[in-house]
Chains A and B, each alone.
Chain A
Amino acid sequence: MLSSVFTVSLAQSAIELGCIYGLVALALFVSFSLLNIADLSTDGCFTLGCAVCAIVTLNGHPILGLFAAMAAGIASGYVTAFLQTRLGIQSILAGIIVNTGLYTINIAVMGFASNVNLFASDTVFKKAEALFDSNWTDLFVILVIVVIVALVLAWFLGTRLGLSIRATGDNPFMIRASSVSPVFTITVGLCVANAMTGLSGGLLAQYQKSCDINIGTGQVTIALASLIIGETLVGRGKVMKRIFGVILGSCLYRFIVAIALRFNVPAECLKLVSSVIVAVAIALPYLKQQAAFMKTKRAALRKRKQGGGIHAGID
């Protein structure tokens, strides 16, 4: 039974998707965990990256497509940051506004069509296959990209600017009184985060050989779940460890979804399954804490009853 559930190909595709979507989780790691901003433009930005990359790839430049997706993400992040830092719009609202606007832009990017397919186009995966053809080529390409992004991000977060970005989310008061302008750190932080979201969308476009206008729907929830699964598993240690945890969380999420599909959950129920997984993942740390407290409380009450005395006036 179990062997039929855990096949190699299932694990492989879970890791591949986990790493691709893990980039969105990393983006939320920067914007949500570090900067303490709920960036709701993630869904739209993911689709933007996907659409831009699809169009550039369709025109024969798959590698350039990935960079274009990142650039598009940076532009989107900049607009979100501009709305909240320069125009005083609350961060959640700024995200929603950008997300809504992006829908039109995404459709426009795809030439006012709701999907684009790349079956005939050259992609980074096809390029890699031309060099060495194996079952593992896709995974290898994805891993290389994710590892590069993770290393650059870890390096960046240790620089003066990176530390300032982390301090902005951790103690806004402190950063206001230190020599870095919070307007600047928030802007850079959101640009970095959305660059990763865009790249993730771009990679997915080439991996799936298609792009759809609704591909980004629910991305923010899933990425958040991955992020929280990761942070629950590895805790809040060093930056590199946390980055690893986020990717791990994303892969784990894909595993759970893949297993759910294995048990013949109909495809139209997938969104519901996703949101249940997300709710459980986010609630788990809290429930664990509550359970621990109930245990301590029960033990303390039992001790009181046995010892007598203390509760003389209480009952």
Chain B
Amino acid sequence: MLELIDISKTFNPGTVNEKKALDHVSLKMKEGDFATIIGSNGAGKSTMFNAICGTFYVDEGAIILDGKDITYEKEHRRSKYIGHLFQDPMKGTAPHMSIEENLALAYLRASNAKGRIFSRISKKEKEMFREKLSLLDMGLEDRMKNPVGLLSGGQRQALTLLMATVVTPKILLLDEHTAALDPGTAEKVLNLTKTIVKERNITCLMITHNMQSALELGNRTLMMDSGSIILDIQGKERETMTVDDILEKFKEGVGKRFDNDRILLSNAEK
């Protein structure tokens, strides 16, 4: 479904702030794969998501989605088939527009491929929104005319999830989308994510800092560090892995880098 072939990105090249954010990353996701991604801050997790979304173009390598090369496709064109959720619940919805209008926007943008910019939402579609909202079990189906700004962070995030999947995306990118919510709401949104992804067999990548859910959710776990994927576990190996094991691996990965740094420094001293 999604294939990253040897992609690299360096920010501010040639300056003191030069940062190699992605370092020859390759990844192949099969249809219906659900991978969790862990890694420390600055490891390149979000950068990888932004590369897939087209927030910037990669320096080298290729991004293939569903057999199509999208490496140089514009961001707003890709977003037709990519769902992207952020940590900040305020980012994904328009606060002064009603729940219904937000859903309509998400639905219209993804469903009509081209040309129909004057299309409107029909009664039947409104009914469909209502049904989908009732699945959230947050009482939002009775507040469809209310502006989204009145909703709580958890409700907004659940709505954003619904908007991202109202038309099934080819890939869903979840960037710590429950990190800003209280534990109870976070669990609810996470369960919702699980159900939707499973029901519709959506290919999904999820960044998380929660090692437990990193192992429990999905069928694959990736670990990133310094712009590379340093660990990719699935199947039997993943089933038997515990949080302690993964923390150990994490230290190993990070430790290796420290060792390298030390070698570099000692070389410099000589």
List residues of chain A with CB under 8 Å of any chain B CB.
Answer: 156, 158-161, 163-164, 166-167, 170-171, 173-174, 176-182, 236, 238
Q: Which of B84, B93, B118 contacts A159 (CB 8 A)?
A: B118
Shortest beta-carbon distance from A22 to chain B in Å? 22
CB neighbours (8 Å) of A167 from chain B are 94, 97, 102, 105
Are A171 and B105 in touch, CB under 8 angstroms? no
Q: How far is the CA of A238 from the CA of B96 in the complex (A)?
A: 11
Minimal Cβ-Cβ distance residue in B for A166: B97
5 additional A-B residue pairs with CB within 8 Å, beyond A166-B101, A173-B91: A159-B120, A161-B117, A167-B105, A170-B97, A178-B109
- In B136-151, which residues have CB < 8 Å from any A CB? 145, 147
Q: How large is the interface on B (under 10, 10 to 19, 20 to 34, 35 or more residues)?
A: 20 to 34
Are B75 and A177 in touch, CB under 8 angstroms? yes
Are A179 and B109 in touch, CB under 8 angstroms? yes
Q: Check if B15 is an interface residue, CB within 8 A of chain A.
A: no
Once A163-B108, A178-B109 are accepted as A-B contacts, the answer to whether A158 and B93 lie under 8 Å apart by CB is no
Shortest beta-carbon distance from B52 to chain A in Å? 12
CB neighbours (8 Å) of A174 from chain B are 91-94
B147-164 Cβ-contact flags toward A at 8 Å (1 or 0) = 100000000000000000
Q: How far is the CA of A177 from the CA of B55 in the complex (A)?
A: 8
Q: How far is the CA of A236 from the CA of B116 in the complex (A)?
A: 28
Are A181 and B112 in touch, CB under 8 angstroms? no
Once A179-B109, A236-B147 are accepted as A-B contacts, the answer to whether A163 and B75 lie under 8 Å apart by CB is no
Interface residues of chain A: helix, strand, loop or mixed (majority):
helix
Q: How far is the CA of A172 from the CA of B90 in the complex (A)?
A: 11
CB neighbours (8 Å) of A178 from chain B are 76, 79, 105-106, 109
Are B91 and A163 in touch, CB under 8 angstroms? no
Q: How far is the CA of A166 from the CA of B97 in the complex (A)?
A: 8
List residues of chain B with CB under 8 Å of any chain A CB.
Answer: 53, 74-77, 79-80, 84, 90-97, 101-102, 104-106, 108-110, 112, 116-121, 145, 147
Are B118 and A161 in touch, CB under 8 angstroms? yes
Shortest beta-carbon distance from B239 to chain A in Å? 35
Q: Which of B116, B145, B147 contacts A160 (CB 8 A)?
A: B116
Are A164 and B105 in touch, CB under 8 angstroms? yes
CB neighbours (8 Å) of B94 from chain A are 166-167, 170-171, 174
Minimal Cβ-Cβ distance residue in B for A173: B91
21 contacts between A and B (CB under 8 A): A160-B104, A160-B105, A160-B108, A160-B116, A166-B94, A166-B96, A166-B101, A167-B97, A167-B102, A170-B97, A171-B90, A171-B93, A171-B95, A174-B91, A174-B93, A177-B75, A177-B92, A178-B79, A179-B77, A181-B76, A182-B76
Once A160-B116, A236-B147 are accepted as A-B contacts, the answer to whether A177 and B79 lie under 8 Å apart by CB is yes
Q: How far is the CA of A28 from the CA of B86 in the complex (A)?
A: 32
Shortest beta-carbon distance from A236 to chain B in Å? 7
CB neighbours (8 Å) of B93 from chain A are 171, 174
Shortest beta-carbon distance from A156 to chain B in Å? 8
CB neighbours (8 Å) of A164 from chain B are 105, 109
Q: How far is the CA of A179 from the CA of B105 in the complex (A)?
A: 10
Q: How far is the CA of A156 from the CA of B119 in the complex (A)?
A: 10
Once A159-B120, A160-B120, A174-B91 are accepted as A-B contacts, the answer to whether A179 and B76 lie under 8 Å apart by CB is yes
Shortest beta-carbon distance from B269 to chain A in Å? 46
Are A159 and B77 in touch, CB under 8 angstroms? no
Are B112 and A160 in touch, CB under 8 angstroms? yes
Are A170 and B79 in touch, CB under 8 angstroms? no
Minimal Cβ-Cβ distance residue in A for B79: A179
Q: How far is the CA of A174 from the CA of B90 in the complex (A)?
A: 9
Shortest beta-carbon distance from B80 to chain A in Å? 4
Q: How far is the CA of A256 from the CA of B105 in the complex (A)?
A: 40
Are A181 and B101 in touch, CB under 8 angstroms? no
By CB atoms of chain A within 10 A, which of B94, B116, B119, B145 has the most?
B94
Shortest beta-carbon distance from A178 to chain B in Å? 5
Q: How far is the CA of A174 from the CA of B118 in the complex (A)?
A: 20
CB neighbours (8 Å) of B90 from chain A are 171
Are A159 and B117 in touch, CB under 8 angstroms? yes
Q: How far is the CA of A158 from the CA of B119 in the complex (A)?
A: 9
Minimal Cβ-Cβ distance residue in B for A238: B145
Q: How far is the CA of A177 from the CA of B110 in the complex (A)?
A: 12
Are B91 and A171 in touch, CB under 8 angstroms? yes
Once A160-B120, A236-B147 are accepted as A-B contacts, the answer to whether A176 and B96 lie under 8 Å apart by CB is no
CB neighbours (8 Å) of B116 from chain A are 160
Q: Which of B75, B95, B119 contacts A170 (CB 8 A)?
A: B95
Are A159 and B119 in touch, CB under 8 angstroms? yes
Are A160 and B117 in touch, CB under 8 angstroms? yes
Are A179 and B110 in touch, CB under 8 angstroms? yes
Are B75 and A176 in touch, CB under 8 angstroms? yes
Shortest beta-carbon distance from A141 to chain B in Å? 28
Minimal Cβ-Cβ distance residue in A for B82: A177
Q: Which of A158, A166, A173, A180 contacts B109 (CB 8 A)?
A: A180
Once A158-B120, A167-B94, A171-B93 are accepted as A-B contacts, the answer to whether A177 and B53 lie under 8 Å apart by CB is yes
Q: Which of A160, A161, A180, A236 contacts B76 (CB 8 A)?
A: A180
Shortest beta-carbon distance from A171 to chain B in Å? 5
